[in-house]
Amino acid sequence: MWPRLGVSGGFEWWPLWILAGQLPMPMAMIFWPNSSFYRSRRPASLVSGSKGGGPVNGVVRYSNFVLPIWAALKKKGATWEIVQNVAQGLPDALEGTSYGTPAFFVRKKLFVRLHQSGESIVINISIDEREALMGTDPETYFITDHYQKYPYMLVRLSTVGERDLQNLVQESWRRCAPATLIDAFDKKK
């Protein structure tokens, strides 16, 4: 049985694979925001149109039930635990301390550490790349006077995405690791 699209452009029935638990709940809710079930239970202030249903000029607003799910899927922010997981997956990465905070080294070279503030990490990056990143997102990427002349940059954990964080930690490791170690890592991928 195929889904029948209604006037609102949403499904007018609940797909059986969702009811049977085949999809995780947040994914399942993506299919439902315009269904007659949710449309009838949404406050009119959250829905396009005067009677609480259907699109106006082709625009449909989602209910307050669905918005938090989308916000969670798009949510930025990371923790030191994510940094640890990424760093521990890199060859010869050793955990230690730097300036009294947790840090990771490769062959005695620092490639990432938690900043004293606890809100940011310090990564190894070229000064040119650092300037480019700081220009694109100064809220996430920044430096203090201490790092002005050094190839390091601070990354605010609360605003960086997890993929970006993973890439930054891996690139920082590549800048510090010897070529033979990098080649071995690339061959494993």
pLDDT, residue 16, reads 43
Please give the pLDDT value at position 168: 97
The answer to whether 115 and 154 have CB atoms below 8 angstroms apart is: yes
Judged by DSSP in three states, 40 sits in coil
pLDDT at 77: 80
pLDDT at 75: 52
> pLDDT at position 189, please?
75
Identify any residues that bridge with 97 across adjacent strands, giving them in sequence order. Answer: 102
What residue spans define the domains of the chain? Answer: 16-74, 80-188
Q: Which residues of the chain have pLDDT under 70?
A: 1-75
| Sequence-separated (6 or more) residues with CB below 8 Å from residue 175 | 111, 124, 125, 126, 151
**Phi and psi, residue 135, nearest 5°:** -70, -30
Grouping H, G, I as helix, E, B as strand and the rest as coil, residue 13 is coil
Look at residues 37, 73, 29 and name the one whose alpha carbon lies nearest to residue 8: 37
Read off the pLDDT of residues 120-169 as tens digits, 9 standing for 90 and up: 999 999 999 999 999 999 999 999 999 999 999 999 999 999 999 999 99
pLDDT of residue 115: 96
Phi and psi of 134, rounded to 5°? -65, -30
CATH top class, domain 80-188:
alpha beta
Residue 188 confidence (pLDDT):
86
